[in-house]
Structure 1
Amino acid sequence: MTTTSEASRYQQLRDHLTYLRLADAAEALPAVLDEAKAGQHSITATLEQLLRIEVQATETRRLAGRLRFANLPTPATLEDFDYDAQPGIDPDLIRDLASGRYLDTATNILLIGPPGVGKTMLAVGLARKVAEAGHRTYFTNAADLVARCHRAAIEGRWATTMRFYAGPAALVIDELGYLPLPAEAASSLFQVVNQRYLKSSIILTTNRPVTEWGQVLGDNTVAAALLDRLLHRSVVIDITGDSYRLRDHQARTDNLRRATQPSSATIPRSPDGQFR
Structure 2
Amino acid sequence: MDRAAVEDLMTLSFMNDAANIVFIGPNGVGKSTLARNVAHQALICGHTVLFRTASEMLGELAALDSDAALRRRLHHYAAADVLAIDSCAVLRDVESPGCKPCFAQRAARATQHK
Q: 2: distance between equivalents of 1:109 and 1:192?
A: 15
Per-residue deviation, 1:131 = 0.6
Per-residue deviation, 1:180 = 9.0
* Alignment: residue pair count: 110
2:99 aligns with: 186
Calculate the TM-score normalised by the size of structure 1: 0.37
1:72 aligns with: none
Which 5+ residue runs of structure 1 have no aligned equivalent? 1-88, 201-276
- Aligned pair 1:99/2:8, yes or no? no
2:24 aligns with: 112
Per-residue deviation, 1:102 = 1.0
Partners of 2:53 and 2:87 within 8 A in 1: yes
Q: 2: distance between equivalents of 1:179 and 1:196?
A: 17
Which of residues 77, 87, 112 is equivalent to 1:165? Answer: 77
1:142 aligns with: 54
More contact order relative to length (CA 8 Å, sep ≥ 6): 2
Partners of 2:91 and 2:99 within 8 A in 1: no
The DSSP-based 3-state class of the residue aligned with 1:111 is coil
Deviations 1:113-159 (A, max 9, x none): 1111100000000000011100001101111111111122x155112
Per-residue deviation, 1:186 = 2.1
Larger-Rg structure: 1
Letter in 1 for 2:36: V
Within a 5 Å distance, the mapping from 1:186-205 to structure 2 comes to: 186-197=99-110, 199-200=112-113
- Regions of 4+ moved over 4 Å: 178-181
Q: 1: distance between equivalents of 2:84 and 2:32?
A: 9
Q: 2: distance between equivalents of 1:110 and 1:162?
A: 20
Per-residue deviation, 1:184 = 2.3
Q: 2: distance between equivalents of 1:113 and 1:199?
A: 29
RMSD: 2.0
Q: 1: distance between equivalents of 2:42 and 2:26?
A: 25
Deviations 1:36-95 (A, max 9, x none): xxxxxxxxxxxxxxxxxxxxxxxxxxxxxxxxxxxxxxxxxxxxxxxxxxxxx1111111
